[in-house]
């Protein structure tokens, strides 16, 4: 009898010992803390991703029969002009994105140094980023309406209303108008990112440059630009992939009318208005492949472009830049 009880106690003790041991605790903590996030990631990202790829081979609606059609949906993406040609509209947004990068880079350079009222300027320019997309849609529908805000300002500048186009209707300009709203919304956000990058540049480098008599342009080209090139490059790539998936401006402002339907707007229409789920999935997969390809290309380019810098190590790099500044300063004198 006594022996039996002892064994039981021992067992209990060893269970609690096992339960409270670091190793078990570790496993339990890892499992508990990761279960929900991974479940959510799986349910709302990877499961739909897998399903989407699957759907793209079927002719189907959300409800009802599905028929396997092989690659027919993909062939349609490339052969039917209304689908693939809408990708051409991305060029408007790409051009807009490049203008936006230039503007934000300029403003960031100016605002990184002491400027009177700098925070207020920064605040005004950044705020559009925090406005919700639907509100932005209404604001710019209003802004571009015939005879309204934009036209009035242009008239102040001496333009004749009769000679101005309909900004959202005329096919020659409406995509530029939409790309413009995108610039308006994001240039401040881009600027804040660049300011962050510029602020992290070693201030010693600027001092060295000043001592060597560099002017502001030389400082920008020989100190700022080389030091923020990673962020800059990333933003260029991001704006290219972002342009390919341009969606919001045409969706909320023109609903894709008058030749403003970008690839994603078309896809949304195919998926939710005409409910050709298979076709929409194929469109999504094609775009995803293009974006992944662009990202891959970016990584290769990034590695190639910065190979030299990595090889030299940071210290030598700084020294080299200082030398470069020296020569640049002298050249000007």
- x-or-dash string of contact with other proteins, 98-127, rule CB under 8 A: -----x--xx--xx---xx--xxx-xxxxx
193 lies in the site for other proteins, by CB under 8 A: yes
314 lies in the site for other proteins, by CB under 8 A: no
- Provide the 10 A C-beta neighbour count for residue 152: 11
Name which position in 133, 211, 301, 312 contacts other proteins (CB under 8 A). 133
* Burial letters 74-84, b for 16+ CB under 10 A, else e: bebbeeeeebb
Q: Least distance to other proteins from the beta carbon of 7, Å?
A: 28
The tokens for 74 are 């993909």
Q: Least distance to other proteins from the beta carbon of 5, Å?
A: 29
- Rounded to whole angstroms, the Cα distance separating 208 from 202 reads 10
Cβ contact 190:101 at 8 Å? yes
- Rounded to whole angstroms, the Cα distance separating 94 from 238 reads 10
Q: For residues 219, 236, 97 and 279, what is the CA-based torsion angle, rounded to 10 degrees?
A: 180
Q: Least distance to other proteins from the beta carbon of 322, Å?
A: 24
The tokens for 244 are 């390919």
Q: Least distance to other proteins from the beta carbon of 210, Å?
A: 14
> In the range 260-289, which residues lie near other proteins by CB under 8 A?
264, 267-268, 271-272, 277, 280-281, 283-284, 287-288
297 lies in the site for other proteins, by CB under 8 A: no
Name which position in 102, 131, 300, 305 contacts other proteins (CB under 8 A). 131
> In the range 6-35, which residues lie near other proteins by CB under 8 A?
22, 25-26, 29-30, 32-34
Cβ contact 237:294 at 8 Å? yes
Q: Least distance to other proteins from the beta carbon of 15, Å?
A: 17
């Amino acid at each position: 009898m006594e022996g039996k009880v002892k064994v039981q106690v021992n067992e209990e003790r060893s269970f609690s010992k096992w339960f409270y041991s670091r190793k078990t605790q570790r496993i339990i903590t890892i499992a508990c803390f990761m279960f929900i996030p991974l479940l959510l990631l799986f349910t709302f990202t990877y499961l739909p991703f897998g399903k989407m790829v699957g759907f793209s081979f079927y002719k189907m609606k959300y409800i009802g029969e599905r028929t396997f059609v092989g690659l027919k949906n993909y062939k349609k993406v490339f052969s039917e002009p209304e689908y693939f040609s809408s990708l051409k509209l991305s060029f408007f947004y790409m051009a807009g994105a490049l203008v936006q990068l230039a503007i934000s880079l300029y403003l960031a350079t100016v605002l990184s140094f002491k400027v009177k009222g700098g925070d207020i300027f920064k605040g005004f320019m950044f705020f559009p980023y925090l406005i919700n997309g639907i509100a932005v849609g209404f604001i710019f529908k209003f802004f571009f309406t015939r005879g309204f805000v934009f036209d009035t300002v242009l008239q102040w500048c001496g333009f004749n209303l009769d000679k101005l186009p309909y900004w959202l209707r005329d096919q020659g300009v409406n995509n530029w108008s939409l790309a413009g709203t995108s610039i308006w919304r994001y240039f401040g956000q881009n600027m804040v990112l660049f300011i962050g990058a510029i602020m992290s540049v070693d201030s010693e480098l600027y001092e060295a440059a000043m001592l060597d008599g560099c002017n502001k342009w030389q400082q920008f080209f020989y100190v700022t630009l080389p030091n923020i090139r990673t962020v800059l490059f990333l933003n260029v790539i991001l704006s290219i992939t972002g342009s390919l998936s341009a969606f919001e401006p045409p969706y909320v402002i023109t609903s894709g009318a008058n030749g403003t339907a970008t690839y994603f707007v078309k896809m949304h229409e195919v998926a939710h208005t005409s409910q050709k789920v298979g076709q929409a999935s194929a469109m999504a997969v094609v775009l995803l492949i293009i974006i992944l390809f662009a990202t891959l290309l970016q990584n290769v380019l990034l590695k190639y472009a910065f190979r030299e810098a990595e090889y030299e190590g940071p210290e030598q790099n700084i020294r080299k830049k200082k030398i470069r500044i020296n020569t640049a300063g002298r050249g000007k004198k």
